[in-house]
């Protein structure tokens, strides 16, 4: 078993540890083993990072199954391979899952054993999505995330959790349905699902209509995941009703599958046809950016604000992709990573806030800073990162995305910049209303500030956000070869 497979299946260790060594009632040891189970993939993923930096091509291929149909044979292999983008996402995943586990230690009191079991299955699915080197395997793991998420939302969420869970399942089910159609359509033509092989096949086949059709399907499929307006309503419900620890993973990593997929499937496999969609994606991106921003402006629930902020931020990813050039793609990728970190941070803090006050209603909150300065400061930090303050990761990604889109579509870029003004407005509105103002208005005057132990996950996230913001080359070096592949369809 190669390192990648080890990494991919390492969440199973945690799952087994919890399943075998703990009993339902023993919450303490469940949490302990969960943390241990979260650390294992984290460590392995960093080992993989070091290996990768040492120019070790991490790739695995085992033949899996195949069909013989007439003249053509259809082969599906178990193929894992890393590139910079995937590695970055994997590191993000293991990190955020780890932090989500830490967050859950306090937040999940109901049946934590089952919770962690599902969480590890979810992690397995996400890692699989990012590690797989062919469409089938991608889909395999993509769909695998459905059930764990369904439970994590539906069982441990708040208020309308089950509706949210069903919404999640239906929307994502439909998205993956469309994805499956497209994947199989490509597979039926090419006889392989390997990304590179498909790309090579499509290049020599030169069937524009087919490629465009398949790309539309991909756009819809990943548009649900990303989400693209108007396929977003599930995502808002999930943000609002899922437990914050799960939203950390959901907003931090799961949504990123959409961006990853769009890049990997779109420009990774159809570099010739993908630019046809530049304007479409730019329009969608703009709509996302502005729609999300305007809605975030008037929400009364902090989680809704963050949810629509996510919608808005995904617009920037789309705009970056619409640039169809290195800068744009890199911006999109950076935004992917950066938004992952930021939303994980924000929802980590939301989780803490809920533990303290039991509400995220902005009308009920106010003047929190006096009682809880560190928590408030962290909220402000998160918001500043979200609104693209230089020195934090959000800025770098927004900047590159806009640089990218400006090359061909300056007008879209210019309108998009309006969106980033709105970003400031809604983030400050929400955060300042909550943290600033008269402390006497704060019903939770005696709320405890963030504890020492709770500080660690937030600190780690802030550190990464600032690291990328201050020295973006730490991430971008990793991506260059991938980007070359995406833009030119060559190399790699």
Partner 1 sequence: MDLETLLSFQWGMMAPEFTILITGVIVSLQDLFYGKKRLSNWLAIIGILLAMVFLSAQYQHVPVSILYDTYVFDQVSFFFKYILLMGTLLILLMTSTSRDEETEKVRGDFHYLLLAALLGGMIVVSSADIITLYAGLELLSISSYILVGLRKYNRNANEGAMKYIITGSLASAVTLFGLSYIYGLTGTTNLYDISREMSVIDTQLEPLAVLGFVITFVGLTFKISTVPFHMWTPDVYQGAATPITAFLSVVSKAAGFLLLIRIFVAAFTTEPGLSDDLTVYEYAIGFAGVLAAITMIIGNTVALRQRNMKRLFAYSSIAHAGYLLIPLVALSAFSLETIWFYLLAYMWMNIGAFAIIHVLIQNHQTEDISMFSGLYQRSPVLALMMTLFLASLAGIPATAGFIGKFNIFLGALSADPAHYVLAAIMIGTTVISYVYYFNILVQMYSRPKAESSPIQVPKALWLTIAICAAGTLVFGLFPNLALQFFSW
Partner 2 sequence: MISFAWLIPLFPLISFMVLILSGKKLKNASGYLAILLTGISFLLTIGVLLDLRTITEFEVIWPWLTVGEIEFQAGALINPLNGLMLFVVSFVSLLIHIYSLGYMGEDDRKSSYFAYLSLFTFAMLGLVMSPNLLQFYMFWELVGLGSFLLIGFYLYKESAKKAARKAFIMTRIGDAGLLIGLILLFWQTKTLSFLEIFQAIEQQKLAPGMITLIAILLFIGAVGKSGQFPLHTWLPDAMEGPTPVSALIHAATMVAAGVYLVAATYPLFLASEWALIIVSVIGAFTAIFAATIGLVQDDLKRVLAYSTVSQLGYMMLALGAGGYVAGVFHLTTHAFFKALLFLAAGSVIFALKNQHIKQIAGSGKHLAVTKWTFLIGTLAISGFPLLSGSFSKEAIFAALLEDGQYGLLAVALFTAFLTSVYMFRLYFLVFHGKGEDKPERTVPLCMNGPMVILAVFAVIAGFFGSQLADWLAGGQGSFAVLHHSPTWLIFLATLVSLGGIVLAYYIYLRKQINQEEWKETFSSTYTILYNKYFIDEFYENTILYSTRAISYLIFYIEKYVVETAMAFVSGTIKAIGTRGSRLQTGQVQTYGTVALLGLAAIVLFFVVKGGYM
User: Under the rule (CB under 8 A), what is the footprint of partner 2?
Assistant: 170, 230, 233, 291, 294-295, 297-298, 325-327, 330, 367, 369-370, 373-374, 384, 389-391, 395-396, 399-400, 402-403, 406-407, 410, 413-414, 417-418, 420-422, 424-425, 428-429, 432-433, 435-439, 471-473, 476-477, 480, 483-484, 487
Distance CA 118, CA 101 (A): 12
Cα separations in angstroms, 321 against 284, 315, 490: 11, 10, 18
Instruction: Give the range of 28-36, 136-144, 244-252, 422-430 binding partner 1 by CB under 8 A.
Output: 136-144
Q: Which is nearer to partner 2, 65 or 471 (CB)?
A: 471
Give the DSSP H/E element, type plus range, for residue 399.
Answer: helix 393-408
Distance CA 33, CA 431 (A): 35
Q: Which is nearer to partner 2, 177 or 297 (CB)?
A: 297
Instruction: Give the range of 41-49, 98-106, 151-159, 448-456 binding partner 1 by CB under 8 A.
Output: 151-159
Phi, psi of 66 (to 5 degrees): -155, 160
324: left (phi over 0), alpha (psi -120 to 50) or beta: left
Alpha helical stretches, state H, 157-243: 161-190, 195-205, 208-225, 233-241
Q: Is 194 helix (H, G, I), strand (E, B) or coil?
A: strand
Q: Which one-letter DSSP state was computed for residue 54?
A: T
Q: Which is nearer to partner 2, 56 or 233 (CB)?
A: 233
As measured in angstroms, the least distance from the Cβ of 471 to partner 2 is 7
Q: Which does 184 bind (CB under 5 to 8 A by kind): partner 1, partner 2, none?
A: partner 1
As measured in angstroms, the least distance from the Cβ of 142 to partner 1 is 8
Cα separations in angstroms, 488 against 228, 331, 483: 26, 17, 8
As measured in angstroms, the least distance from the Cβ of 234 to partner 1 is 12
**Alpha carbon 354 to its chain's center:** 23
How many other CB atoms are there within 10 angstroms of residue 165's CB atom? 23
Tell me the per-residue interface mask from 88 to 127 with partner 1, x by CB under 8 A, - otherwise: --------------------------x-------------
- How many residues of this chain bind partner 1 (CB under 8 A)? 37
Q: Candidates 6, 12, 36, 169: give the one binding partner 1 (CB under 8 A).
A: 169
Instruction: Give the range of 144-152, 244-252, 348-356, 437-445 binding partner 1 by CB under 8 A.
Output: 144-152
Our finding on whether 298 is near partner 1 (CB under 8 A) is: no
Contacts of 71 by beta carbon, 8 Å cutoff, 6+ apart: none
> Do 304 and 239 meet the contact criterion of CB atoms below 8 Å apart?
yes
> Do 242 and 152 meet the contact criterion of CB atoms below 8 Å apart?
yes
The first and second tokens of residue 29, run together, are 């040891």
What's the angle, vertex CA 321, arms to CA 320 and CA 326, rounded to 5?
Answer: 80
What part of residues 371-390 is at the interface with partner 1 (CB under 8 A)?
A: none
As measured in angstroms, the least distance from the Cβ of 462 to partner 2 is 11
Distance CA 337, CA 186 (A): 29
Instruction: Give the range of 150-158, 266-274, 343-351, 415-423 binding partner 1 by CB under 8 A.
Output: 150-158
Q: Which does 141 bind (CB under 5 to 8 A by kind): partner 1, partner 2, none?
A: partner 1
**Alpha carbon 437 to its chain's center:** 33
Distance CA 394, CA 388 (A): 4
Our finding on whether 180 is near partner 1 (CB under 8 A) is: yes
Q: Which is nearer to partner 1, 143 or 272 (CB)?
A: 143
Among 126, 120, 128, CA closest to 151: 120
Q: Which is nearer to partner 2, 189 or 370 (CB)?
A: 370
Instruction: Give the range of 163-171, 339-347, 382-390, 407-415 binding partner 1 by CB under 8 A.
Output: 163-171
Tell me the per-residue interface mask from 36 to 75 with partner 1, x by CB under 8 A, - otherwise: ----------------------------xxxxxxx-x-x-
Q: Candidates 39, 43, 177, 466: give the one binding partner 1 (CB under 8 A).
A: 177
Q: Which does 143 bind (CB under 5 to 8 A by kind): partner 1, partner 2, none?
A: partner 1
Q: Which does 66 bind (CB under 5 to 8 A by kind): partner 2, partner 1, none?
A: partner 1
Cα separations in angstroms, 405 against 9, 136, 149, 388: 38, 31, 34, 17
Q: Which does 403 bind (CB under 5 to 8 A by kind): partner 2, partner 1, none?
A: partner 2
What part of residues 209-228 is at the interface with partner 1 (CB under 8 A)?
A: none
Distance CA 319, CA 403 (A): 10
As measured in angstroms, the least distance from the Cβ of 486 to partner 2 is 10
Helix, strand, coil % over all residues of the chain, rounded to 5? 75, 5, 15
Name the residues that contact partner 1, by CB under 8 A. Answer: 64-70, 72, 74, 114, 136, 139-141, 143-144, 146-147, 150-151, 154-155, 162, 165-166, 169-170, 173-174, 177-178, 180-181, 184-185, 187-188
């Amino acid at each position: 078993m190669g390192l990648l497979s080890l990494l991919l299946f390492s969440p199973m260790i945690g799952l087994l540890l919890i399943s075998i060594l703990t009993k339902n009632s023993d919450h303490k040891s469940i949490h302990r083993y969960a943390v241990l189970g979260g650390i294992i993939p984290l460590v392995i993923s960093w080992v993989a990072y070091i290996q990768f930096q040492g120019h070790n091509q991490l790739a695995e291929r085992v033949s899996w199954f195949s069909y013989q149909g007439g003249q053509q044979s259809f082969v599906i292999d178990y193929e894992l391979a890393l590139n910079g983008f995937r590695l970055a996402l994997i590191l993000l995943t293991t990190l955020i899952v780890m932090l989500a586990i830490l967050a859950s230690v306090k937040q999940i009191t109901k049946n934590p054993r089952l919770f962690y079991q599902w969480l590890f299955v979810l992690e397995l699915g996400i890692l699989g999505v990012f590690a797989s080197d062919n469409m089938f395997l991608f889909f395999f793991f993509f769909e695998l995330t459905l059930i764990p998420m369904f439970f994590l939302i539906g069982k441990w969420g708040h208020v309308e959790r089950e509706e949210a869970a069903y919404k999640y399942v239906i929307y994502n089910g439909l998205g993956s349905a469309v994805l499956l159609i497209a994947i199989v359509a490509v597979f039926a033509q090419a006889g392989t699902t390997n990304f590179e092989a498909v790309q090579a096949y499509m290049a020599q086949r030169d069937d524009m209509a087919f490629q465009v059709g398949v790309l539309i399907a991909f756009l819809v499929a990943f548009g649900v995941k990303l989400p693209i307006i108007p396929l977003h309503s599930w995502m808002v419900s999930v943000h609002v009703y899922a437990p914050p620890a799960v939203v950390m993973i959901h907003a931090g990593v799961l949504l990123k599958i959409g961006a990853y997929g769009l890049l990997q499937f779109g420009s990774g496999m159809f570099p010739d046809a993908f630019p046809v969609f530049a304007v479409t994606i730019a329009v969608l991106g703009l709509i996302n950016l502005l729609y999300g921003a305007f809605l975030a402006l008037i929400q009364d629930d902090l989680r809704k604000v963050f949810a629509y902020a996510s919608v808005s931020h995904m617009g920037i990813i789309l705009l970056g992709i619409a640039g169809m050039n290195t800068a744009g793609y890199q911006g999109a990728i950076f935004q992917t990573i950066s938004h992952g970190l930021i939303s994980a941070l924000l929802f980590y803090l939301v989780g803490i806030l809920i533990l303290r006050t039991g509400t995220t209603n902005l009308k009920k909150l106010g003047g929190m800073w006096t009682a809880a300065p560190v928590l408030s400061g962290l909220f402000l930090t998160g918001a500043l990162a979200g609104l693209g303050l230089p020195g934090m990761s959000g800025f770098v990604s927004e900047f590159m995305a806009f640089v990218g889109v400006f090359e061909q579509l300056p007008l879209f870029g210019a309108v998009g910049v309006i969106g980033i003004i709105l970003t400031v407005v809604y983030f400050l509105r929400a955060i300042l209303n909550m943290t600033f103002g008269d402390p006497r208005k704060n019903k939770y005057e005696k709320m405890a500030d963030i504890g020492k132990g709770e500080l660690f996950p937030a600190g780690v996230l802030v550190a990464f956000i600032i690291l990328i913001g201050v020295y973006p080359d730490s991430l971008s070096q990793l991506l260059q070869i991938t980007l070359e592949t995406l833009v030119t369809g060559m190399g790699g």
